[in-house]
Structure 1
């Protein structure tokens, strides 16, 4: 048991306070925007459908996902110390695995929902009833937990005898593995983590890809241009989020590490831990007329109260 030191952005000491302000603003924006989506999907009866039930859960997951990394990073930027205990580092990595893996599975569930809605509309209400929706969301959370615990245990059971300095802004797998001193154990741990990453990244991505091939094929068969446009609009937001999330995750975890510098690793990590979560509510809001309509109603009610 020992303490680690997260270097974070210590190579730019003059920008620490500026970065603190920027990341604090980003975190508050993510929290507020996703909270608004959760609220309007709950209080607006027009949005009590499986698609918006999953979107509300996804927004809650996004809040959890960024809370694992950003508050800790803000504290390190403010204190300019970066000390983190062995246990706190393991807990952060474990929850990051849980929320990241759950997001992969929930995006797959949302793709399946769109597949049933477009390719099998007559049975949609029966197939995607409320009980099934709850079971799918619960399965997305529960399935990941034992795997995340196994991944975290495998990494932190390694002998750490090198420097305790982690050249990153949170306890991610690649920089932590670099501190271990036994090459055999490190390779086994890395292979274990990569294998699970393939299962929770590539397998869901494959299912999403198959779903969208069938969805697009079905949409193109529609005779009405308006029907095609409406069908595409219900899928475009989700598909955009999938491409952004899976693209950055694949680059970060499946790219050979010798080809990736520490600075590039930080940049990619910033992309999928901060930039994508702030884009997601914007994408779902700007490209969804139902959300826009519900948001206008909520704003109108708030203005009447004041």
Structure 2
């Protein structure tokens, strides 16, 4: 679990680094001008890291399912070689999807004025600037199919994994075992809901129906809010962290009472 958490932390750090600087520049109140090449570079980086997180969350769901459903065989199932291969597949899948989407977008000419009502260079907003009709529609269908694959296939893996976890928890006889199993999976399930909910809403809708004004706030959830909450979600599972948080909150409360 901690091996995959290290990769998730690395993905989140890179994701926010690729997104937050242009976001802060736009929040200064002035129009932020960016050349097309720079915009595509930022899009490529954020797509690669976001796609890698999609696959990585599915891999972590498989890991949690193995820990809960096959606890006695977990050490053999989650071998170091398999863990390295799954983590590598997450990074490779993210890079492949990003390279394909960015290359297809870069090959399309722009017909609309190059002005995006968004915090960052995001794919649905940029697609609204591209020309439509003729061979361009087939290219857009290919891009949409790639987004469906990178979002829905990991989602299906996560649902199947947690279906097995739910059956295993239902079969447990003691309340303590159930509580421990639910605690093992609760933090990951919270992260999955936050990330996939907003990402699916943004990327799995037709380009013509994408609302930039609404979409830029929805995108904040998977680009900023979820990576910021992931450390808190996962560290609160640790007993030492919980005790330290209670001591900190208790000390703040006593200080306020003394004043």
User: Normalising TM by the smaller chain, what interval?
Assistant: 0.7 to 0.9
Question: CA separation in 2, counterparts of 1:69 and 1:294?
Answer: 34
Question: CA separation in 1, counterparts of 2:137 and 2:198?
Answer: 23
Which residues in structure 2 correspond to 1:10-29 (within 5 Å)? none
From 170, 185, 193, the counterpart of 1:243: 193
| 2:107 pairs with 1:157 | yes
From 224, 227, 243, the counterpart of 1:277: 227
Say if 1:291 and 1:193 are closer, same or farther in 2 by CA, change over 3 A.
farther
| 2:216 pairs with 1:266 | yes
- Match for residue 127 of structure 2? 177
| 2:247 pairs with 1:292 | no
| 2:95 pairs with 1:148 | no
Q: Residue 159 of structure 1 contacts residue 182 of structure 1 at CA under 8 Å; is this kept in 2?
A: no
CA RMSD after TM alignment:
2.0
How far the C-alpha of 1:293 sits from its partner, in A, is: 6.2
Question: CA separation in 2, counterparts of 1:156 and 1:107?
Answer: 29
- Match for residue 53 of structure 1? 3
Q: Residue 106 of structure 1 contacts residue 140 of structure 1 at CA under 8 Å; is this kept in 2?
A: yes
Question: CA separation in 2, counterparts of 1:95 and 1:262?
Answer: 21
- Match for residue 204 of structure 1? 154
How far the C-alpha of 1:291 sits from its partner, in A, is: 6.4
- Match for residue 83 of structure 1? 33
How far the C-alpha of 1:182 sits from its partner, in A, is: 3.7
How far the C-alpha of 1:139 sits from its partner, in A, is: 1.4
How far the C-alpha of 1:235 sits from its partner, in A, is: 0.1
Question: CA separation in 1, counterparts of 2:207 and 2:108?
Answer: 19
Which residues in structure 2 correspond to 1:32-111 (within 5 Å)? 51-78=1-28, 80-111=30-61
- Match for residue 145 of structure 2? 195
Aligned residues: 246
Q: Over residues 158-191 of structure 1, what are the superposed CA-to-partner deviations in whole Å (9 max), with x where a residue is unaligned?
A: 1114311122111111211121234334423331
How far the C-alpha of 1:145 sits from its partner, in A, is: 1.6
Say if 1:186 and 1:178 are closer, same or farther in 2 by CA, change over 3 A.
farther
Q: Residue 64 of structure 2 contacts residue 185 of structure 2 at CA under 8 Å; is this kept in 1?
A: yes
* Unaligned runs of at least 5 residues, structure 1: 1-50, 300-306
| 2:181 pairs with 1:225 | no
How far the C-alpha of 1:249 sits from its partner, in A, is: 0.9
The alignment's TM-score, normalised by the length of structure 1, stands at: 0.75
The alignment's TM-score, normalised by the length of structure 2, stands at: 0.88
How far the C-alpha of 1:260 sits from its partner, in A, is: 4.0
Q: Residue 51 of structure 2 contacts residue 97 of structure 2 at CA under 8 Å; is this kept in 1?
A: no
How far the C-alpha of 1:119 sits from its partner, in A, is: 1.0
